[in-house]
Amino acid sequence: MKLNYKTYLLPFALLAASGIQALAQDAAATTAAAPAAESNFYNTFLSNGILLFTAFVIVGAFIVMFRLLNVLIKMQQIQIYKEQGFEAFQEAQARPMENFWNNMYKRWTKVVPVEKEEDILFDHNYDGIKELDNSLPPWWVAMFYITIAFAGIYLFYFHVSGLGKSSKEQYEVEVKKAEVAIASFQAKQADKVDEENLVPLEKETDIAAGKTLFTTNCVACHGALGEGGVGPNMTDKFWIHGGEIKNIYQTIKNGVPEKGMIAWSNQLRPADMHRLASYILTLQGTNPPNGKAAEGTEYVPEAAAPPQDTTATPVEPTNSTGSGQ
Amino acid sequence: MAQVEKFHYDNAIVRNFAYATMIWGLVGMLVGLIIALQLIFPQLNLGIAEVSYGRLRPLHTNAVIFAFVGNGIFTGVYYSLQRLLKARMFSKVLSNFHFWGWQAIIVSAAVTLPLGLTSSHEYAELEWPIDIAIALVWIAFGINMFGTLIKRRENHLYVAIWFYIATWVTVTVLHVGNNLELPVSAFKSYPVFAGVQDALIQWWYGHNAVAFFLTTPYLGLMYYFLPKAANRPVYSYKLSIIHFWALIFIYIWAGPHHLLYTSLPDWAQSLGTVFSVMLIAPSWGGMLNGLLTLRGAWDRVRQDPVLKFMVVAVTAYGMSTFEGPMLSVKSVNAISHFTDWTIGHVHIGALGWNGFLTFGMLYWLIPRLFNTKLHSEKLANTHFWIGTMGILFYAIPLYWAGWTQSLMWKEFTPDGFLKYGNFLETVTQILPMYAMRVVGGTLYLVGNIIMVYNLVKTVRSGSFISDEAAEAPALVSTHGVHKGEYWHRWVERRPVQMLLLATIAILIGGIIEIFPMVMIESNVPRIESVKPYTPLELAGRDMYIREGCLGCHSQMVRPFRSETERYGEYSKSGEYIYDRPFLWGSKRTGPDLQRVGGKYPDSWHFNHMLEPQSISPGSIMPPYPWMIRDELSLDILPKKIKALRTLGTPYPEGYEQIAIADAQKQAEQIAARLKKDGIELEGLEKKEIVAMIAYLQRLGTDIKPKAQATN
């Protein structure tokens, strides 16, 4: 008999895969790894992928061993053929496989064949419905016990042993991990921002990007030309929180929650906040119509201010090679 | 041997319920199709309050659960109970009262829900007068059932009847428990418990509505109709016993799995998880006993449409009772909750298990009631295939939609920002899947129409047997010694003891979970800054309930980075102590609103309610023009304040007298702000929208600083 193992490999693989996956997810939930799973889902899928692959390898190994065993049995049978003749060989060939699967099936289902049903028929009769006295399927009973054991272990792990993390603790770990990952990512970026030694960007592309960011995020409160509205005027020399690039960057980054300005660090990359702050500085002295009255204190730059007196839109691409990007 | 008695089965009541099942099935599924279309074409909300999505969704769920499946249960119970007990129903009057009462309740639901009269508890939306009517009808059903049990001619109760008894007692307990409410007016009430406690009780109910309305009675029907249709003995009597008791005992605990990662205490969440996992085997016991009963009859399954429907039904039951526990594992739930995965999951149960078992039962039953043959086997087979395709076309796109959306919600850029910071992006992404789901739903409904046609033809071709003659020996003494019998036979002879044992089994879990939550204060830590709603906010909140906003918007930020980044600080149980009822929601078709307060200016909300697409192009939210058109009614506020104080909200004594003035003052402030933003409307401060804005701007602000200027 030729066994086509693709057919019986499939359910095995699926079973193994789902089992491993569930385990992996559970493990993820219970260990510190969980937050990582949250922070980047594809990571989880990758690690699950590795687990899956491992499962395939294990299943594959089992199949190879099973195959080897078959070969050994075949060799044994050939031996029998050689020594005891054809009839003994036939008998031996029919025996081992069938017995193995049959026994397995019988042991895990304990089912009474349809033909022998009469023996286990109760005398119950409900409107013609009869009942059989089949045993509880052992595989079903085993499954029930396993889930009960799972329940006990789960409750012990999370609520008695002190090992399992609560939802809140999981969250804290997740946030910490993400902070570390983000910091290390940003440190490797070409346009990373050195908050201590900020200088205004001058490249045309940076200023244009800054303008786009301003239009998207800031005009609602500061006016289309930076003339001010709910928020202060950006075009005069007066600043409430400081007029140096460093100050403006910090104001954008942390916001002024008590006055209604949100902390933009939650929505803008550091490099973008840098571009935005640089753009805002180009608005100095543009003197748009309907400018809001000055607020804060006058800021006098230490070095010479960039020469921008004429228009609101930045011109003069000064192709400096050192800046940004 | 006792004397053989002659009697008649009452088939008229069975026929009535069967007709009701067919009619309400069509209605419920049609409403489902309409709301599925509304999700793709928001214009279909028509700007009319009574047909907008938020109000129709509960109509769909109630119609399918209580009208379609409910009548299906009664059809099967009234038919099988009489035959299993060898007795006519106890009282014709009670039967008719049950039938007409139930239909009247359904009609009143179909009227009140579109009117926005709702308690907002999912699957228990109906307001208190209807709740009382349900209780009365349900008790009438119980008396009728137990009356029949007492005058039975069969010594022992068959497993189907155990399930009917457990169903009856549990639904009674659940219905009363989840509708403990204080009436304010004819159609408005506030629940006794608030916030997280209300949430736990609601989902203890909600989950067990699935368990004891959609599952246990249908298992009973399966145990009768499947062996009858297959003409085979039930596979294992022992399995029946074990899985019955295990199922009803364990099921009741599993409710908290609807509240994983919420502000429900972790211990309660864990109980929800582990009892859900332990439910796999007891549920599968039912599936096994169903499928294995078909051993030796599989050849007929290929031909007989009745058996085909039943096989798919039982298989769908097995699939969803495996999927359910998996969804109750916290790390899976973190992905599935609030998405369409859940919707797909429940429809495998509803369309597959309940729908197909009902269809199988009707195809078997109607020809027998009318002493004829089914009009067309071919049409029944067509129904089977269209229905099966319908289920697949319905569920698979929704699974896909759920996974896609969940992954999009959770994806970050390496810079630490949400990749899809705009919630709407994650909605427009899955609209094609929503369209596919409409195709699936349409197929299923078409199949159903074919069935109704087929059955009407069958009815026409036969002659109805209103009173079916039967005979059986009178009941001899049921007590005494029965040597050598199986231990469980004892209780099978004693319906009252059976009822008591079942009651104990289903009470334990609920008591252990609910009592500590409502008795022990540390389970809901107080937060000093959390204050009761102002009268205007309260009016807005009740409007939020009326419009069914929670059908699409949650108010529960879970402790995940992807949620705190999107919405703000995660929710604390102490924030909800004045929330009667809780409004956490269970599905996010739109974003969470727990922290929406102060996020946008008042004028944003005004314009958004008037025409959502003008603010968020591509949004599928319906417009709410009537909130801007209609005047706000404040007259009931004093009563509401009083009722809430009775329930424990610390409004000062006598506050109700100044509540209206207070509300008017706040309304004027909001109207002034709107005016400043250029919204000109006569009498703006008297419109409903002002209350809605007041409520939305309050949401979640108790524990966070006012972040943005309100302009």
A153/A211 same-domain check: no
Q: B383 with B305: CB under 8 angstroms? A: yes
Closest CA–CA distance from residue A129 to any residue of chain B (Å): 6
Q: What is the dihedral of CA B28, B34, B40, B43, to 10 degrees?
A: -150
Where does the pLDDT of residue A67 fall: very low under 50, low under 70, confident under 90, or very high at 90 and above? confident
Task: Give the residue from B330, B411, B492 with the most A CB atoms within 10 Å of its CB, the best one to mutate.
Answer: B330
Residue A238 touches chain B, beta carbons under 8 Å: no
For residue range B290-338, what is the model confidence (pLDDT) as tens digits? 999 999 899 999 999 999 999 999 999 999 999 999 999 999 999 999 9
Q: How many other C-beta atoms can be found within 10 angstroms of the C-beta atom of residue A322?
A: 7
pLDDT above 50 (res A313): no
Q: B613 with B584: CB under 8 angstroms? A: no
Q: How many other C-beta atoms can be found within 10 angstroms of the C-beta atom of residue B683?
A: 8
pLDDT above 80 (res A122): yes
Residue B416 touches chain A, beta carbons under 8 Å: yes
A9/A154 same-domain check: yes
Secondary structure of residue B5 in the 3-state scheme: strand
Query: In the structure encoding, which two tokens stand for residue B317, read together?
Result: 């039951």
Closest CA–CA distance from residue B239 to any residue of chain A (Å): 6
**Average pLDDT for residues A43-52, to the nearest whole number?**
75
Q: Do B269 and A221 touch (CB under 8 A)?
A: no
Q: Which of A39, A143, A221 sits opposite B412 (nearest CB)?
A: A39
ipTM of the complex: 0.93
Q: Which residue has the higher pLDDT, A242 or A23?
A: A242
Residue B422 touches chain A, beta carbons under 8 Å: no
Q: B594 with B557: CB under 8 angstroms? A: yes
Map B658-689 to HEC letters: HHHHHHHHHHHHHHHHHHHCCCCCCCHHHEHH
Q: How far apart are CA B322 and CA B443, in angstroms?
A: 26
**What 8-state DSSP symbol labels residue B155?**
S
User: Which B residues, 135 through 194, put their C-beta within 8 Å of a C-beta on chain A?
Assistant: 154, 156, 158
Task: Give the residue from A39, A108, A134, A192 with the most B CB atoms within 10 Å of its CB, the best one to mutate.
Answer: A134
A196 burial (CB, 10 Å; 0-12 / 13-18 / 19+) is exposed
Q: Is residue A185 part of a domain?
A: no
Task: Give the residue from A147, A161, A266 with the most B CB atoms within 10 Å of its CB, the best one to mutate.
Answer: A147
Q: Is residue A12 part of a domain?
A: yes
Q: Do B706 and A155 touch (CB under 8 A)?
A: no
Closest CA–CA distance from residue B49 to any residue of chain A (Å): 33
Q: Which of B285, B329, B560 sits opposite A26 (nearest CB)?
A: B329
Length of chain B: 711
Closest CA to B263 of B490, B33, B577: B577
A9/A123 same-domain check: yes
A286-308 burial, b for 16+ CB within 10 Å, e for fewer? bebeebbebeeeebeeeeebbeb
User: Which B residues, 311 through 330, put their C-beta within 8 Å of a C-beta on chain A?
Assistant: 325-326, 329-330
How many percent of chain B have pLDDT more than 70? Answer: 98
pLDDT of residue A93: 67
Q: How far apart are CA B682 and CA B9, in angstroms?
A: 67
The chain A residue lying nearest B471, using CA atoms, is A127
**What 8-state DSSP symbol labels residue B533?**
P
Closest CA–CA distance from residue B577 to any residue of chain A (Å): 20
Measured CA distances, B467 to A1, A226, A271, B32, B369 (Å): 61, 87, 84, 37, 10
Q: Do B561 and A171 touch (CB under 8 A)?
A: yes
Q: Is residue A325 part of a domain?
A: no
Q: B582 with B576: CB under 8 angstroms? A: yes
Q: How far apart are CA B598 and CA B605, in angstroms?
A: 11
Query: Which residues fall within 8 angstroms of residue A140, CB to CB, at 6 or more apart?
Result: B239, B281, B284, B285, B288
**Average pLDDT for residues B429-450, to the nearest whole number?**
97
Q: Is residue A104 part of a domain?
A: yes
B474 burial (CB, 10 Å; 0-12 / 13-18 / 19+) is exposed
How many percent of chain A have pLDDT more than 70? Answer: 76
Residues of A in contact with B709 (CB under 8 A): 221, 230, 259-261
For residue range A212-240, what is the model confidence (pLDDT) as tens digits? 999 888 888 888 888 888 788 999 888 99
**Average pLDDT for residues A273-293, to the nearest whole number?**
89
The number of helices, as runs of H, and strands, as runs of E, in chain B is 29, 4
A13/A127 same-domain check: yes
A286/A229 same-domain check: yes
**Average pLDDT for residues B517-542, to the nearest whole number?**
91
Query: In the structure encoding, which two tokens stand for residue B147, read together?
Result: 């009356």
A276/A131 same-domain check: no
Where does the pLDDT of residue A293 fall: very low under 50, low under 70, confident under 90, or very high at 90 and above? confident
pLDDT above 70 (res B711): no
pLDDT above 70 (res B477): no
Secondary structure of residue B419 in the 3-state scheme: coil
Mean pLDDT for chain B overall:
94
A142/A205 same-domain check: no
User: Which B residues, 241 through 280, put their C-beta within 8 Å of a C-beta on chain A?
Assistant: 242, 246, 261, 266-267, 269-271, 273-275, 277-278, 280
Inter-chain CB pairs, A–B, below 8 Å: 174
What single-letter amino acid sits at B493? R
Q: What is the CATH number of the domain that holds A264?
A: 1.10.760.10
Secondary structure of residue B191 in the 3-state scheme: strand
Q: How far apart are CA B78 and CA B66, in angstroms?
A: 16
CA angle at residue B225 from B86 to B348, to 5 degrees? 145
**Average pLDDT for residues B476-496, to the nearest whole number?**
81
Residue A195 touches chain B, beta carbons under 8 Å: no
pLDDT above 70 (res A308): no
Residue A131 touches chain B, beta carbons under 8 Å: yes
Map B617-647 to HEC letters: CCCCCCCCHHHHHCECCCCCHHHHHHHHHHH
Element (H, E) at B75: helix B70-85
pLDDT of residue B1: 53
What single-letter amino acid sits at B154? E
Q: Do A134 and B708 touch (CB under 8 A)?
A: no
For residue range B395-404, what is the model confidence (pLDDT) as tens digits? 999 999 999 9
Q: How far apart are CA B181 and CA B119, in angstroms?
A: 9
The residues of chain B that CATH labels 1.20.210.10 are 7-329+352-363+488-513
pLDDT of residue B103: 98
Residue B298 touches chain A, beta carbons under 8 Å: no
A13/A140 same-domain check: yes
For residue range B492-512, what is the model confidence (pLDDT) as tens digits? 999 999 999 999 999 999 999
| Phi and psi at residue B631, to the nearest 5° | -80, 145
pLDDT of residue B707: 41
A125/A222 same-domain check: no
A19/A133 same-domain check: yes
pLDDT of residue A74: 80
Residue A282 is part of which domain span? 195-298
Query: In the structure encoding, which two tokens stand for residue B694, read together?
Result: 């007041």
**Which overall architecture, per CATH, does domain B7-329+352-363+488-513 show?**
Up-down Bundle (1.20)
Residues of A in contact with B708 (CB under 8 A): 260, 262
The chain B residue lying nearest A26, using CA atoms, is B331
How many percent of chain B have pLDDT more than 90? Answer: 90
Q: Do A129 and B233 touch (CB under 8 A)?
A: yes
The residues of chain B that CATH labels 1.10.760.10 are 535-703
Map chain A to HEC letters: CCCCHHHHHHHHHHHHHHHHHHHHHHHHHHCCHHHHHHHCHHHHHHHHHHHHHHHHHHHHHHHHHHHHHHHHHHHHHHHHHHHHCHHHHHHHHHHHHHHHHHHHHHHHHCCCCHHHHHHHECCCCECCECEEECCCCHHHHHHHHHHHHHHHHHHHHHHCCCCCCCHHHHHHHHHHHHHHHHHHHHHCCCCCCCHHHCCCCCCHHHHHHHHHHHHHHCHHHHCCCCCCCCCCCCCCCEECCCCCHHHHHHHHHHCEHHHCECCHHHCCCHHHHHHHHHHHHHCCCCCCCCCCCCCCEECCCCCCCCCCCCCCCCCCCCCCCCCCC
Where does the pLDDT of residue A31 fall: very low under 50, low under 70, confident under 90, or very high at 90 and above? very low
Q: Is residue A324 part of a domain?
A: no
Q: Do A175 and B561 touch (CB under 8 A)?
A: yes
Q: B205 with B180: CB under 8 angstroms? A: no
What single-letter amino acid sits at B606? F
**Which overall architecture, per CATH, does domain B535-703 show?**
Orthogonal Bundle (1.10)
The structure tokens 């409307």 sit at B681
Quick one: how far is CA B152 from the chain centroid? 34
- Pick the last residue of a domain from A143, A159, A175: A159
**Average pLDDT for residues A286-311, to the nearest whole number?**
71
Mean pLDDT for chain A overall:
79
For residue range B377-393, what is the model confidence (pLDDT) as tens digits? 999 999 999 999 999 99
For residue range B685-709, what is the model confidence (pLDDT) as tens digits? 999 999 999 999 999 998 864 444 3
| Phi and psi at residue A297, to the nearest 5° | -110, 155
pLDDT above 60 (res A29): no
Tally of domains in chain A: 2
pLDDT above 60 (res A26): no
For residue range B660-687, what is the model confidence (pLDDT) as tens digits? 999 999 999 999 999 988 898 999 999 9
pLDDT above 70 (res A41): no
Where does the pLDDT of residue A19 fall: very low under 50, low under 70, confident under 90, or very high at 90 and above? low
Q: Do B705 and A29 touch (CB under 8 A)?
A: no
pLDDT of residue A40: 56
Where does the pLDDT of residue B520 fall: very low under 50, low under 70, confident under 90, or very high at 90 and above? confident
For residue range A73-101, what is the model confidence (pLDDT) as tens digits? 888 878 877 888 777 777 766 665 667 77
Q: Do B280 and A259 touch (CB under 8 A)?
A: no
A148/A58 same-domain check: yes
